Structure 1
Amino acid sequence: MIRFRLVFPVMTVITLLVLLAPLLLGLASAVFTYHGTCYGFTDGSWDCPWQEYASAQVFWASLLDIPLSLYLISCWLVALGLWLHQRRTAAPEGLPFSLVAVIPLGGCLGGACLISILPVFLRFLYL
């Protein structure tokens, strides 16, 4: 039996790491790859300060972080749903391993649904 006292802190640490990942990866990339030149998507290159280069690196790293964030949101929703279900029923204190495995699996399915809905949301947002 695994208790929610263990599940929630582990998920909190993972969430903090995912939230800090774009900043840390972008700044690390800027430190190791900055040569005084910024490159545009299609419009060539130009001289730029380190801050502009670092902000661009953080931006691109944050775009890579969006799927992980959606996955974590759905994992939190599944975990909170299991927690509320356990509190309202006469279930024992801990969760069996099969229900703990439902958290990432349900999060994966929920994250896939959220990612597939994201383009529709963006389409309605920019109409």
Structure 2
Amino acid sequence: MSIALLDKDTEMLIDSSDGTVLPSVLGNVLHVRYEELAKLSGLKSSSLRASPKAKSTQAKLRPIAQILLRASAMTGSIGLAVAWFEYQPIPGFGNKTPAETVADGYADAVLQHLSDMEEGVYA
């Protein structure tokens, strides 16, 4: 069984039976190639392809998937969530986008920002 994103035509992102984030699906959702997904997640492209289910790979991909799922729940659309992730500068992140912040290694800060937004606190 898998958790679907809000859009019916969007593929499954996280396999709920084992929590696996599928790199190919995540790349499709973000409209990026493996190389770009590897850079975003802080992984080597070869590692992403060769060991997609490795704990170290999943530890880098899972926060990105969680960010997109939470943002899509807030915006009502995976398309809007991706646009927010890629293009919305956040003052609290030095006007970097969530994607830039994740690429810098601070996915946890983006997740905290989403928690703050859910609680009505804005940066």
What TM-score, normalized by structure 2, do the two folds share? 0.32
What TM-score, normalized by structure 1, do the two folds share? 0.31
Q: Which has the larger radius of gyration?
A: 1
Structure with the higher fraction of residues in helix conformation:
1
Larger RCO: 1 or 2 (CA < 8 Å, sep 6+): 1
